[in-house]
């Protein structure tokens, strides 16, 4: 009777344990259970790898605004952090004004060269007939002015002589005589100027007809060379000013820290008002669009792995659900020894090779609500 009770008790315990094993929730599936369930296949435990990008400050300054929070999804090129760049903007405006000033100086130098080149060409080729005619016309006008000035002088002289005679006889006042004297002096000055103008125009005509001397040509060439030097200097000033603007534009671009990839902000090291230095890591963005799994396969198992081979990926975090994947790369170089040889057992080193696996359809995973994360545990079944 006692033996019968013990037997019944053992049967009850076995039945209860069997029921619990069958009803074990998938949320508690272990790696050993997954591997054991595929004992005839090559199953490798690994982790999901996602590329992380450190976004560093490329220039020193004060942070004016942090534009994202940890966990935010960001796109490539999206601004993450803004630095205070008011002083740089002012410098850029000043540099742009310097560019305009330098360009104005260049225009003046080019105009001076054009004028000098025209003078040199004229010195080499001599005057045109039109220019000679203009000089002759100037001489004729100057002679005509002399005749007019001479007539005016003669009238002024006659009036002065008449008034002087009347003054000597007491018929004209001192004031009248002085007035005529001033008129005579003015007429004399006008006549002298008219005669001088004739001489100037005549000499200019004679020099033009004679042509430029070698000295004149040399002076004209020197003027051209000097003007070209002015242009070269102006070009240098323009280039320097434009380089200053370009450098400030590059620096201003660094005032905004942007995401280099599509991903998620996983680390935020700064806040509004912080002072940062060049090279300081501010944000870490993890790329989520291209997760992969690197499986370390022993060299003795490499014959079970082929490039483009379909695999099954199981995620313990999602109750061991199974997803399709594919081998996208097999490293040709060994990574490390998984089993070291010893003198005692006479064994040999067994090396491992990195095999990269990627999910077949990420969109399907998203639609299923599967949220992959970096370092998430995976089991990859190679099926051989």
Tens-place pLDDT, residues 355-384: 999 999 888 888 888 888 888 999 999 986
- Residue 74 phi, psi dihedral angles, 5° rounding: -125, 160
Q: Is the pLDDT of residue 275 over 60?
A: yes
Return the pLDDT at 200: 95
DSSP letters for 127-155: --HHHHHHHHHHHHHHHHHHHHHHHHHHH
**C-beta of residue 88 within 8 angstroms of C-beta of residue 252:** yes
Lowest mean pLDDT among 16-25, 65-74, 287-296: 16-25
Dump pLDDT digits (tens) for 146-162.
999 999 999 999 999 99
Do 342 and 375 share a domain, yes or no? yes
Give residue 276's region: left, alpha or beta (phi > 0; psi -120 to 50): beta
Rounded CA-CA distance 292/362 in Å is 11
62 compared with 86, residue with greater pLDDT: 62
Number of other residues whose CB lies within 10 A of the CB of residue 57: 22
At 66, phi and psi to the nearest 5?
-95, 125
In the chain, beta strands by DSSP E: 43-49, 52-56, 61-66, 73-74, 79-83, 256-258, 263-268, 275-276, 281-287, 292-298, 310-315, 321-339, 350-359, 377-381
Report which of 52, 117, 51, 10 is spatially closest to residue 284, judged by C-alpha positions: 52
Categorize the per-residue pLDDT at 214 as very low, low, confident or very high, splitting at 50, 70 and 90: confident
What is the reported pLDDT for 337?
55
| pLDDT band at 62; cut points 50, 70, 90 | confident
Confidence of residue 313 (pLDDT cuts 50, 70, 90): very high
Residues 301 and 359 in one domain: yes
In a domain, 121, yes or no: yes
- Are 221 and 196 in the same domain? yes
Give me the domain span that covers residue 346.
Answer: 24-50+290-381
CATH number, domain at 346? 2.40.30.170
Same domain? For 244 and 99 the reply is yes
CATH number reported for the structural domain that contains residue 133 in this entry: 1.10.287
List, for residues 27-36, the tens digit of each pLDDT value.
Answer: 444 444 544 4
- DSSP 3-state assignment of 357? strand
Terminal C-alpha separation, the chain:
53
Note the pLDDT of residue 220. 82
Q: Is the same domain home to 268 and 177?
A: no
The answer on 270 and 331 residing in a single domain is: no
Euclidean distance between CA atoms 100 and 241, whole angstroms: 9
As a whole-number percent, the residues of the chain with pLDDT over 90 amount to 41
Within 10 A of 382 (CB to CB), how many other CB atoms are there?
23
The model's confidence at residue 348, banded by pLDDT at 50, 70 and 90, is: low
| pTM (global) more than 0.85 | no
Residue in this structure with the two tokens 């004016």, named with its chain if needed: 64
- State whether residue 112 is helix, strand or coil: helix
Say whether both 112 and 226 belong to one domain.
yes
328 and 307 belong to one structural domain: yes
pLDDT of 254 above 90 = no
Beta-strand pair 321-339/377-381: unpaired
**Banded pLDDT at 130 (limits 50, 70, 90):** confident
Whether residue 133 sits in one domain with residue 108: yes
Q: Is residue 343 part of a domain?
A: yes
Q: Is residue 9 part of a domain?
A: no
What pLDDT is recorded for position 290? 86
Phi-psi region of 345 (alpha: psi -120 to 50; beta: other; left: phi over 0): alpha
> How many domains are there within the chain?
3
Q: Average the pLDDT over each of 205-219, 261-275, 317-331 and give the range with the smallest value.
A: 205-219
Both 96 and 221 in one domain: the answer is yes
Q: How far apart are CA 5 and CA 319, in angstroms?
A: 40
pLDDT, position 10: 32
> What are the two backbone dihedrals, phi and then psi, of residue 43, each rounded to the nearest 5 degrees?
-120, 125
60 in the same domain as 46 = no
Q: CA-based angle 214:218:223, to the nearest 5?
A: 150
Per-residue pLDDT at 136 exceeds 60: yes
Same domain, 185 and 277: no
């Amino acid at each position: 009777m006692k033996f019968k009770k013990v037997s019944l008790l053992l049967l009850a315990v076995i039945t209860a344990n069997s029921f619990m094993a069958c009803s074990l929730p998938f949320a508690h599936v272990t790696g050993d259970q997954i591997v054991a369930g595929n004992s005839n296949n090559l199953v490798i435990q690994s982790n999901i790898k996602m590329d992380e990008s450190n976004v560093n400050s490329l220039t020193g300054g004060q942070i004016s605004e942090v534009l994202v929070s940890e966990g935010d999804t960001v796109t490539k090129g999206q601004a993450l952090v803004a630095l205070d760049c008011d002083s740089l903007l002012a410098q850029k405006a000043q540099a742009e004004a310097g560019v305009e000033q330098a360009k104005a100086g260049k225009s003046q130098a080019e105009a001076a060269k054009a004028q000098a080149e025209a003078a040199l060409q004229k010195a080499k080729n001599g005057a045109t007939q039109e220019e000679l005619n203009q000089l002759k016309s100037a001489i004729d006008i100057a002679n005509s002015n002399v005749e007019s000035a001479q007539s005016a002088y003669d009238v002024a002289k006659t009036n002065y002589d008449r008034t002087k005679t009347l003054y000597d006889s007491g018929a004209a006042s001192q004031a009248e005589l002085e007035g005529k004297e001033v008129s005579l002096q003015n007429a004399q000055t006008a006549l002298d100027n008219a005669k001088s103008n004739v001489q100037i125009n005549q000499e200019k005509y004679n020099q033009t007809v004679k042509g430029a001397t070698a000295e004149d040509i040399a002076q004209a060439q020197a003027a051209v060379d000097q003007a070209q030097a002015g242009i070269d200097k102006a070009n240098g000033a323009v280039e320097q000013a434009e380089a200053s603007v370009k450098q400030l534009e590059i620096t201003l671009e660094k005032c905004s820290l942007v995401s280099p990839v599509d991903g998620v902000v996983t680390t935020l090291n700064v806040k509004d008002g912080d002072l940062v230095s060049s090279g300081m890591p501010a944000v870490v963005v993890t790329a989520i669009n291209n997760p992969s799994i690197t499986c370390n396969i022993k060299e003795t198992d490499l014959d079970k792995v082929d490039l483009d081979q379909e695999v099954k990926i199981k995620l313990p975090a999602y109750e061991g659900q199974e997803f399709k994947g594919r081998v996208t790369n097999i490293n040709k170089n060994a990574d490390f020894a998984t089993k070291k040889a010893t003198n005692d057992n006479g064994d040999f080193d067994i090396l491992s090779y990195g095999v990269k696996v990627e999910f077949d359809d990420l969109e399907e995973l998203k639609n299923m609500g599967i949220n992959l994360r970096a370092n998430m545990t995976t089991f990859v079944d190679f099926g051989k």
